Amino acid sequence: MKIYMGYDSREKAAYDVARASILRRTDPKQSQIIPLELGGELLNPILTRPIARREHKLWCPISQAPMATEFAVSRFAVPFLCRKGWALFVDCDVVCLADIRELFALADARYAVQVVKHQHEPVEQTKMDGQVQTTYARKNWSSVVLWNCEHEANKRLTLEELNTWPGRDLHAFKWLRDDEIGDLPQEWNHLVGVSPASETMKLAHFTLGGPWLPGWSGGPLDDVWNAEAAH
């Protein structure tokens, strides 16, 4: 199983915990976790879009909008990095609470991607470490994506589009028709502090931030993240 995980240099602790939480609950011999590191060797030939800084925060000149994380766009490089079979993208601010093979078992060849189809319209102005909380179509659908890398529909996304489209269009999967986007159960992308409480949660996504951030004042399910970090 190929698992591409977002990597942000400010959130190494989150990445380490997320990675460990997956490997601890599955057969590590079957799981390859690959960090998508901005400016790294893996992405350099593929991701060439400009990135700037405004007031010490990442800014996308194409989108004319802030980038909350370094991997805001790199997740969409997955079909260029993996040409065969299925691959998973997942944000680094997660804790996996079940065997990730259960998620791969949901793969349905009819679809180009499968996601949890959140209806997330944030009311807060900031998240994480003071990052601007932006609103766009299909928000948080792209935070956990099961990619069908050989699906013909994913070939519509070209390198030129990857590097010139505004981020909001990529996050909305604008190259796909609605019937090419399959569903995943809500339990595989539980938005901590946003989604209703769930006893069946299999992947906790700390989209608003968590205990790894300096000055974090506390939030729901901090105990879940802290327990995982203690292992």
DSSP character for 165? S
DSSP character for 126? E
pLDDT recorded at residue 131:
46
pLDDT recorded at residue 119:
81
- In the sheet with 65-66, reading across from the earlier edge strand, the strands are 52-54, 57-60, 65-66
186's tokens: 């809500």
Structure pTM?
0.90
CA dihedral 93, 66, 63, 192 (to 10 degrees): 30
**Which residue is associated with the tokens 């996996």?**
96
Q: What does each C-alpha distance from 121 to 84, 92, 135, 205 come to in angstroms?
A: 34, 21, 7, 16
Residues linked to residue 148 through DSSP beta bridges, in sequence order:
86
Q: What one-letter code names the amino acid at 192?
A: V
Instruction: From first to last of the 231 residues of the chain, give the pLDDT tens digit.
Output: 999 999 999 999 999 999 999 999 999 999 999 999 988 899 999 999 998 888 788 888 998 988 889 999 999 999 999 999 999 999 999 999 999 999 999 999 999 999 999 884 655 545 454 445 466 578 899 999 999 999 999 999 999 999 999 999 999 999 999 999 999 999 999 999 999 888 899 999 999 999 999 999 999 999 999 999 998
Rounded CA separation 149/73 (Å): 17
Rounded CA separation 225/27 (Å): 21
Rounded CA separation 212/194 (Å): 19
- β 190-191/52-54 pair status: unpaired
pLDDT recorded at residue 215:
92
pLDDT recorded at residue 125:
45
What pLDDT digit, counting tens, does each position of 93-107 carry? Answer: 999 999 999 999 999
Phi then psi dihedrals of residue 162, to 5 deg: -55, -35
- In the sheet with 203-205, reading across from the earlier edge strand, the strands are 94-96, 203-205, 190-191
Q: Where are the domains of the chain?
A: 2-229
Which CATH architecture does the domain made up of 2-229 adopt? Alpha-Beta Complex (3.90)
What DSSP line would sit under 69-106, residue for residue? STTTTGGGGHHHH--SSEEEEE-SSEEE-S-THHHHTT
